[in-house]
Amino acid sequence: MPVTNDDILNALRSVQDPDLHKDIVSLGFVKDVKNCDGHVAFTIELTTPACPVREQMKQQAHAVVSKLPGVRQVDIQMTAQVRNTLLQQNILPGVRNVVPIGSGKGGVGKSTVSANLALALAKMGAKVGLMDADIYGPSIPAILGVTAPPQLHADQRLRPATAHGIVYVSFGFFLPPGKAYSARGPMLTKWVDQFIGAVEWGPLDYLIVDLPPGTGDVQISLCQRLALTGAAIVSTPQDVALNIATKCIDMFRILKTPVLGLIENMSGYACPKCGHHDDIFGAGGARAAAERIRYCKPCNTDLTGAAPPDDLCPKCKEPLERVPFLGSVPLATAVRTTSDAGCPIVVADPGHPAAQAFMRVAEALAAQVSIRGFRQDEPQLQPVVWGKPS
């Protein structure tokens, strides 16, 4: 009997997405199946072009279909369609995911991480925007090497600047060099509103937001204006930074913004001359912190350090949420020099270990965004007012 489309789909049910824990047929990834005289062709449409197991899935799909009787040739096209996790389409039309990058304190390399993650996602084929919301210390224009302000349209909407394949807007465009900016909460909120509603972002798979350090007005305003896809937190491995990073995670929890994961920056240094490795800020602290953190989403309760052995909330018996560890980036002189030169390391030296680390973190971040997008059975979280968790 000749092979049928049902035979092909049944064979492909053995190929699992390791992040979503379902087969690619049930997930709707398999499309446009064609079958003619033993020549089989189909498309696998993933949820992100940054999928780290893209080739693995393709190989598995090719293997299981090739084993079917009568199949002589298998052609597979791999594509990606990033899912939309935003509720307010009228606020950011065309933007599928908004991912703020935060830190509990300054000096952990948050802006450098934000820029390199945005560029890494773009290199993998995604449409990416970068919003520099660090009002007090905007550094994205210098890191990306463009200081010319964006264009203002006749309708008073800004067209973002472009660099290295991404679009971006920064408060640094509107601040004279060397001048400080001091403002209270209402003015900071106004700038957030301008960057959200008065910028012509266009169609984007990911809008990365570089937040100021801490847990202040900009973070609160952003969470209240948008039901964000989720936040990523940057920390160094040392205990002081991690203790403050956990407060940043707690802020997002109170504001009912999912935390997509923790990133460890400046994780060890390898001498480029002798190869000696030195854990200047410690090692593995962020991974250990991610493994310790537990909280109950339904009860909005932090159970870090008090989680029961079964990882179930003692009140509602629901499984406790964890904070994924997205990966670590080593401390490297090249990261600084390329950023100072306006061409971050992901673009300037893709083969460098730090650039490869940024690419892996971007893949892990994209995977968490995809997982978030497929949690359709979960109630959508609405922003709440600071200090009044529901």
What ranges make up the beta strands (E) of the chain? 16-17, 22-23, 30-36, 39-46, 73-80, 98-102, 128-132, 151-152, 158-159, 161-163, 166-170, 206-210, 231-235, 259-264, 269-270, 277-278, 295-296, 301-302, 325-328
What are the boundaries of each domain within the chain? 5-80, 98-373
| CATH architecture of the domain with residue range 5-80 | 2-Layer Sandwich (3.30)
Q: What is the pLDDT of residue 87?
A: 56
Q: CA nearest 4: which of 73, 76, 65?
A: 65
**Could you report the per-residue pLDDT of 80-96, keeping only the tens digit for each?**
999 887 755 567 888 99
Q: CA nearest 286: which of 347, 235, 346?
A: 235
Q: Say which CATH class 98-373 falls into.
A: alpha beta
**Could you report the per-residue pLDDT of 167-195, keeping only the tens digit for each?**
999 888 877 677 777 767 777 778 888 88
pTM equals 0.87
**Could you report the per-residue pLDDT of 308-353, keeping only the tens digit for each?**
778 888 888 888 888 899 999 999 999 999 999 999 999 999 999 9
In this chain, the answer to whether the domains covering 5-80 and 98-373 adopt an identical fold is no
Residue 227 clears pLDDT 80, i.e. is over it:
no
Helix axes 217-225, 185-197, angle to 10 degrees: 40
Backbone angles phi, psi at 235, to 5 degrees: -150, 155
